[in-house]
Structure 1
């Protein structure tokens, strides 16, 4: 089977494109991308697709790069393919941004490809990575340390923004592509930088793979198979993790929460993946979060770990364990949640008070003793109105706050009450407390009321208060 037929079959099996699709082909001028451009232009009419050749001159090798652009443009015109190009001054851009050279070049190159795709309303961008590139990528990731996703190497296709990146040559060998160029008299350029050992990929290609091939002559094929197997298993694991995310994770603005019991009940591989997926859901900058950080968060959900705990997960996310729950919170949300002290005076004539920082609302009802008002839950309380000093105040906790607990001799720290009731540490800072104007702590709604202003048989006027939390 010739390479064109192989490409068409692969496209049909993998759904690389559909009739009517526009495809932007990234053409550097090397044999791989020139062979891809030739193949796609040859099958374009049969497959009812439109081809646009896109070339980027990065500005590193002035004369050589200019020649490459001329070769690509001339070949595209020969094939009757639309040609688009851009010339960049990457050395100046790298100096300005202090970015890694390869990363900066990739960023600008892909931005241009997306720009051309949008201009021509193309739904695909075709990249000319081949099987030997895949082997190099997998070996690079092994050397640097990678999990199953890294071992999967480059994907045959994936969504990026509004288009799909496809790699139609990913299962074809470099030698076959070179032979294809010779057979079809396809011009191509050789990038002199491919021989410079300044780049890690070149060291892999020129030194490490040849050395390993002494011990395994089929090393490239072995690495390609590893990528194939790892890719299939990674895809299955990803689907399992997506399903668990939908089933177990509670979502709220800038936050994800999961039960520690649910998390530790999963296989360790799924625990790690689910944590990574949660972090990726909250931030697009999670690439630098290390295995050790993931492991720290995973172990924090264990039964033996402290009941309350927090850590900076990286990428602007904080991971917090609060008793039986684990929360992953964006720092922006924490900044707003950990607000400064608040203080609200209750105007009883208005009947209700919204304490916005806490998300709680208080309702006030004046009644006579004959109305027989009785609280039915810890979120309701009755006070002898004549024994209160007004105005009443709702505020959050301050260091040293204590409550004269009903039914106990002496007072107790509010902090200790929160711990006893397993109030999450992040919620403690905003939890509302009801005081009178004399500074007496009357009530911690939902937890305990004080022994102040109790109603009795002598009470004439009752203040009935109901609190509703988040």
Structure 2
């Protein structure tokens, strides 16, 4: 049994080890009126002198239990006043809010409660919000997640310290069991209320607490302690894996319009555990709430990247997030409803004889034109450069994206070839096919597709006196085009 005098030294040591607070900070203490939160308020009050902490109590009456919850609010105010701690309270009509939003009761209560706690923290300039979750809560949480289905990260349970918005949520009692908290309240004559709803089996957590855990403890009296120990181990391993995943993200993830992209072989080179975590981190990065991302969705993406899967494929992950495999490029995008995409609008820019540079934002590239004397024109360095006989070009030229039926008389081939077939042959990603620029002359003849092929029109001969040198330069955020070089 923990001695009364041990509480402060143990809590002070825990605070240093877990960086729960820094001396001189303001801490908002969430106080429901039950034994856990009242003991936490008392403990932090005793520590506040040596730790130089400024405390603010915050209490929420959810409006579920009428006079009972009103009495709890009054007891919190009175006890905070006895300790000389300012107390902020709020009364919500949760039944009406639930009716309006159709949220479940626990989720609605948590949303309103945390919003109020953050409001109080902002008002007082607090860096921390202290919550009274304890070891028994941890055991219940881990077991609930196992029952509902969870991965290794879920076994970590409740975090002892977690950033939310601009405030740190801390749980100083997370390694302390309820029985010890009740003894502490008794030894210090700390008043507290008992929430009658804690005995109602309407809530899943109450069923776990009242029925499931006691039943399992009949097979292992230390079952709750085993769950807490499991959470400690899982938390440390989950933290290490998360750091490894973030390092991989920094090395391999590249920007892409409205999302990001990853080389398929880089993903396959990782252990399967890191593959799954990296996919979830990418989905989180582009704005998907990964708490609700199913294992099946992650596996669908992971398997789609395998060697035996289709070379081009797409998958709607949900909430506007889309995954595309485009050969060896894996693309994750989030739809932007306010943006007109090239697929819907197309683009076309006129190029006159005196043009020297043309910006192509849809393609993430620039086209430059230079005129040279025939004998002086440098030869192209790559397929993003091409030379044309200036006197054979029919101006004005047009630079546009592809259109149905586009064909080219390819240099070195007889007849014509569909532009669509050329894109397939060159393994151009489907998402790039609608934005890649095509240069056509005044008659609509396809002259050149930068990075792909040029036509046999306006070839430079020994007799050519003037040469137009065209060069396509890809911007950094359009790295998919670089794969064509």
Q: Is the 8 A contact 1:94 1:104 kept in 2?
A: yes
Q: Which residue in 2 is equivalent to 1:329?
A: 333
Answering whether residue 457 of structure 2 is matched by residue 452 of structure 1, we say yes
SS in 1 for 2:292: coil
- CA distance, structure 1, for counterparts of residue 257 and residue 467 of structure 2: 40
Which of 127, 130, 136 matches 1:132? 136
* Number of residue pairs matched by the alignment: 470
TM-score by length of structure 1 reads 0.95
CA drift at 1:376: 4.0
- CA distance, structure 1, for counterparts of residue 55 and residue 364 of structure 2: 56
Structure 2 unmatched ranges of 5 or more: 476-485
Q: Which residue in 2 is equivalent to 1:422?
A: 427
SS in 2 for 1:442: strand
CA drift at 1:224: 0.8
- CA distance, structure 2, for counterparts of residue 382 and residue 237 of structure 1: 52
Q: Which residue in 2 is equivalent to 1:238?
A: 242
- CA distance, structure 2, for counterparts of residue 119 and residue 284 of structure 1: 30
Q: Is the 8 A contact 1:283 1:316 kept in 2?
A: no
Q: Which residue in 2 is equivalent to 1:24?
A: 28
CA drift at 1:100: 2.2
Which of 349, 352, 362 matches 1:347? 352
When structure 1 is superposed on structure 2, of 282-291 and 395-404 the one drifting more is 282-291
Q: Is the 8 A contact 2:254 2:261 kept in 1?
A: yes
Answering whether residue 99 of structure 2 is matched by residue 95 of structure 1, we say yes
- CA distance, structure 2, for counterparts of residue 147 and residue 372 of structure 1: 62
CA drift at 1:127: 0.4
What RMSD over aligned residues (CA atoms) do the two structures have, in Å? 1.9
When structure 1 is superposed on structure 2, of 87-96 and 277-286 the one drifting more is 277-286
Q: Which residue in 2 is equivalent to 1:362?
A: 367
Structure 1 unmatched ranges of 5 or more: none
When structure 1 is superposed on structure 2, of 335-344 and 41-50 the one drifting more is 335-344
Answering whether residue 88 of structure 2 is matched by residue 84 of structure 1, we say yes
Q: Is the 8 A contact 1:366 1:461 kept in 2?
A: yes
Aligned runs of 1:159-170 on 2, under 5 Å? 159-170=163-174
- CA distance, structure 2, for counterparts of residue 303 and residue 406 of structure 1: 34
Q: Which residue in 2 is equivalent to 1:310?
A: 314
Which of 72, 75, 79 matches 2:79? 75
The change in CA–CA distance for 1:57 and 1:323 in structure 2 (over 3 A counts) is same
Q: Which residue in 2 is equivalent to 1:34?
A: 38
Q: Is the 8 A contact 1:138 1:153 kept in 2?
A: yes
TM-score by length of structure 2 reads 0.92
- CA distance, structure 2, for counterparts of residue 67 and residue 30 of structure 1: 12
Q: Is the 8 A contact 1:384 1:463 kept in 2?
A: yes
- CA distance, structure 1, for counterparts of residue 256 and residue 444 of structure 2: 36
SS in 2 for 1:332: coil
When structure 1 is superposed on structure 2, of 333-342 and 412-421 the one drifting more is 333-342
- CA distance, structure 2, for counterparts of residue 388 and residue 18 of structure 1: 72
The change in CA–CA distance for 1:179 and 1:345 in structure 2 (over 3 A counts) is same
